[in-house]
Structure formats: structure tokens, C-alpha cells
Structure 1
Amino acid sequence: MSGASWAGRPLVGFDLETTGVDPETDRIVTGCVVRYGGGRPTEARTWLADPGVPIPAGATAVHGVTTEAARASGRPAADVVTEITAALVQAAAEGLPIVAMNAAFDLTMLDREARRYGVRPLSDLCAPVVLDPRVLDRQLDRYRRGGRTLTDLCRHYVVPLEVAHSADADAVAACALVWKLAARYQVLAHTELGELHDLQTRWAREQAEGLRDYFARTPGKERLAASVRLDWPMIPAPRGGAPR
């Protein structure tokens, strides 16, 4: 694939909503894989899982799914994880990049859920190229003040986000952000996808190191430094069996 071609081809957006923010112990509630751009209408596939555990009220307040709704209408979590993984494998087989905002969270969550249910994880099946608007924005506009959440980036780059924390809306918005970034920063559009993936691996590590150092030198935040992970686009699975 030529370096100038990827920005005009489809992007495959990926997003999860979960029971919490710890990919080692929390569970998938909803997911979306969306095919965006490339001169075709947007196509989205969404999933609602029964996570097998209660959904905390705080998580419900974010994504709107209650324990009762997930139990009544959600599909078995193992089936959902299998199908999401297969959709991402198909994208990789087509040479399309996977777009995920804060990819290290969503891809790690999918990996741990796969291992929990005995599903072959994505990393065993392919090595997808990942585009993360969070990493790209922090690298290309590193001195801009303000937040860098998906909502913040959509506001800054004038990208519609109709229902934040809905997996399908978030996945579409992440793809639109990458398109806007590639249009604004032509170096992205003219960088070959594999090289861009490798660059993000380095940039994400540098960004995490900066955050870790900030915590370490800030009174009252020192303990947070140890929790900062440097891995991207996925935190390697710990040894010692399936996740809890």
C-alpha cells in the first residue's frame, strides 16, 4: 500500500463500553465495529453482551446500560467477544487500519475477555495496524491546552458526536477524527500505515513516560506514577492463567 493511499480508503472504527475502567477485571457491555469512509456509506455492527456480573451504577451512568437490560437482552459474552475479534481480524486481512480512541484500553479489554472465555485473542490471529486519535493529537499538537477526551477532540476538530459513550457513536467519531487529523497534518496521510503504527508505539510510550514523570514530581500524585503503563496498542497479558 502506498503511503498516500490510506487516508482515502475505509477505516475500521472500534469501541467498547464496559463495566469499569480496569481491563484486567472489568467486562464488556457493548461494542461496535464500524466501516467508515472510502466512498461508501458507513456500516456499523453493534453488540450488547450480558457481562455475567452486575454493572455498577457509575458505569450505567456513563453508557446507559443497566444490569437488568444486559441480562434481558444481552448475548453471551463469549459469543460477543468471538464476533468482535473476528470482525477485527477481517479488517486486518483487508489491509484496513483499526481506529480506536485510547486503543490500549479497548484492545487490552478485548484481549482479556478473550482469554477469560477461552477465545483465541486478536494478537494470536493477526497484527493489525492501529490508528489512535488520542496518540496522534497529543503528538501533533502537543502544547495545546485543555482536555484530550473524545468529546474534547471532537469539539476541537469540529467532529459531530451525537451520543458520547455510545459504542457506535464513539467508533464513528474516532474515525472522523483520524480523517480530520490526516487532512490537517498531511504528514500523516503520506506516511505508510506500518510506519505510522510503529511511530505511534514510540509516541505513546513517550507520552506515557511524560505523564508518569509528571505524577512522580507532583505532590499528592506520586502514587499514581506506578500505575502508568507504557504499552501501546495493547498491554501484554500477564502470565498466570485466565483473568479473573
Structure 2
Amino acid sequence: MELNLKNPIVFFDLETTGTNITHDRIVEISILKVFPNGKQEVKTKRINPEMPIPKESSDIHGITDEDVKDAPTFRQVAKSLADQIEGCDLAGFNSSRFDIPLLAEEFLRVGLDVDFSKKKLIDVQIIFHKKEQRTLEAAYKFYCDKKLEDAHSAEADTIATFEVLKAQLDRYEDLPNDMAKLAEDYSFFNNNVDLAGRIIKNENGIEVFNFGKHKGKPVSEILRIEPSFYAWMMDADFPLNTKQTLTKIKLREMNK
């Protein structure tokens, strides 16, 4: 089944120095841009992370320090990348928990504030987990009856993710071919306010903390009765996007 698109959608995958959203960096990004008319564009780029790539990460994706020593830094490609995804929805595999928060962190680190809240964010892994509970390789075999060659290659994983989503739409009659509905109903386990899910909306639509001693408590209430908690979060090891989101809530509450 072909995708029913109102906007172009960018399928993407990151290979990184590790899995820490706050500290790790991108070493390769691959994007597959699909337009409403069906046209497709694939681009893959190596990135110099400006830090050593741990051996355990290289063992997974095969990218070493030598491979990226002459590659551009993220700062050098950030504006071009932001332009490529402007006006597009985004899709990936495990993207809501990792790729999108890390990409947002990279943009903020170089001073580019890309507004992900205006994009429909589709996580094919969550659709798969809600329906079948498997990995990308198993999803590709299950839905497309193909073996995923070059797994953990950004381009192979990106193209496989695109094919899996189309096959999911063919398989499940109740799965809407609508990016807005897929983003809202199938691509987040929690109703995230920040991309990393440190702040979420509860069943009543109230912004609450999703960690630590104040888990489940309204953010506005904690900011009012314990203002030092805001200062602690701003100084602590939280993603820049989480800090940005918390600051927006604080300013909104102050202006009420």
C-alpha cells in the first residue's frame, strides 16, 4: 500500500557514538524523503562526531574514527539538513525514544531550534511492538518476507523501515493510512511533552514529570512550590530539548 501523504515524509536512521541522548553524537545519517506524488530521494552522509567512536559502537555499525576523520561536522551540515526536513513529517524505527531526541539535541547544540512539535512523528517500531513485538530484522522478515542485509547500516535500516510501514498498512485494515493519526495513536507509548519523555501529559492532559521524586506530579505545581527544582534540572544532565521545554512551561506559567 502506498502512503497517503499530505506532506513529504522523511524516513531516517542514525548511527551514533553510543546511546546517551545527552552526550553521544551522530556518525552517519541516512534519509529517505518520500513526496506526496510518490517521488523518492535517498541521501546518506557520514558525520565527524568530534569525539572518539567507542569500539563497541564501531563493532555494531562498522564506522570507525578513520572513516569519519575527513567527514563534515554536524555544525557544517546542520542548516542543510534542517532545510531538507523543513515542512516534512518524520518516520523511523525506535525514533521517538532515540533518533528524534538525539537529532533535536544535535540541532540545539549548534544553535538551530528545529520545531519538531509541528511535525507528525511516526515510529514504525512502536506500531510493530503494539501489533507483533519484534526487532527491525524480524519486522522486515515478517512483513516483507525479506532478509535484512547490512543491518545497522543507516541506509539499509532506513529503506527497510519505509518498506515495513507500507507493508503494515497492507496487513492491518484498522491501521490508518494517515500520518497525523499514525503519529497520534501509534508512535508514542507516552504522551510526551519533551522529546525524551521526561515530561508527559497524563490522562487529563496535564503536564507532569515522568521521573524521580516528582513523577506524576504537575510540572506547574512543582515549579510554583519548589522553584529550586527548575534550577536543579537546568544544571543537571538532562537533554537540551527537555530543558528548553521546561523553560517554556515556566515562562508560560509566569505570564498567566
TM-score, reference length from structure 1: 0.70
Counterpart of 1:140, as a letter, is: K
Distance in 1 (alpha carbons) for counterparts of 2:101 and 2:175: 25
Counterpart of 2:170, as a letter, is: A
SS of aligned partner of 1:16: strand
Which residue of structure 2 lines up, in the alignment, with residue 156 of structure 1? 142
Which residue of structure 2 lines up, in the alignment, with residue 214 of structure 1? none
Counterpart of 2:86, as a letter, is: V
Structure 1 runs (4+) greater than 4 angstroms displaced: 7-11, 36-42
Which residue of structure 2 lines up, in the alignment, with residue 81 of structure 1? 78
Distance in 2 (alpha carbons) for counterparts of 1:51 and 1:174: 25
Q: 2:161 aligns with which of 167, 174, 178?
A: 174
Deviation track 1:83-115 (CA, whole Å, cap 9, x = no partner) reads 33322224x2xxxx4220001211101111111
Which residue of structure 1 lines up, in the alignment, with residue 124 of structure 2? 133
Deviation at 1:162, TM superposition (A): 2.3
Q: What are the residue-to-residue correspondences of 1:8-27 with 2, within 5 Å?
A: 11-27=9-25
Distance in 1 (alpha carbons) for counterparts of 2:35 and 2:164: 12
Counterpart of 1:63, as a letter, is: H
Distance in 1 (alpha carbons) for counterparts of 2:66 and 2:9: 34
Q: Is 2:93 aligned against 1:108? A: no
Deviation at 1:120, TM superposition (A): 2.3
Distance in 2 (alpha carbons) for counterparts of 1:9 and 1:187: 22
Counterpart of 2:107, as a letter, is: A
Distance in 1 (alpha carbons) for counterparts of 2:3 and 2:140: 24
Judging changes above 3 Å, is the alpha-carbon distance between structure 1 residues 61 and 171 closer, same or farther for their aligned structure 2 residues?
Answer: same
Counterpart of 2:95, as a letter, is: A
TM-score, reference length from structure 2: 0.67
Contact 1:13–1:175 (8 Å) recurs in 2: yes
Distance in 1 (alpha carbons) for counterparts of 2:72 and 2:56: 22
Q: Where does structure 1 lack aligned partners over 5 or more consecutive residues?
A: 207-224, 230-234
Q: What are the residue-to-residue correspondences of 1:1-244 with 2, within 5 Å?
A: 6=4, 11-36=9-34, 40=38, 42-72=40-70, 74-90=71-87, 92=88, 97-104=89-96, 105-123=98-116, 127-141=118-132, 148-157=134-143, 158-190=145-177, 192-200=178-186, 204-205=189-190, 237-239=241-243
Taking every aligned residue pair, what percent have the same amino acid on both sides? 25
Contact 2:15–2:28 (8 Å) recurs in 1: yes
Counterpart of 2:241, as a letter, is: A
Distance in 1 (alpha carbons) for counterparts of 2:10 and 2:147: 18
Q: Where does structure 2 lack aligned partners over 5 or more consecutive residues?
A: 192-210, 216-238, 245-256
Counterpart of 2:155, as a letter, is: D
**Rg (Cα) greater in structure:** 2
Which residue of structure 2 lines up, in the alignment, with residue 213 of structure 1? none
What is the aligned length? 198
Deviation at 1:43, TM superposition (A): 2.2
Contact 1:100–1:133 (8 Å) recurs in 2: yes
Deviation at 1:237, TM superposition (A): 1.8
Deviation at 1:200, TM superposition (A): 2.3
Judging changes above 3 Å, is the alpha-carbon distance between structure 1 residues 197 and 236 closer, same or farther for their aligned structure 2 residues?
Answer: farther
Deviation track 1:184-242 (CA, whole Å, cap 9, x = no partner) reads 0022245x3322211125x5129xxxxxxxxxxxxxxxxxx97xx9xxxxx882328xx
Deviation at 1:155, TM superposition (A): 2.0
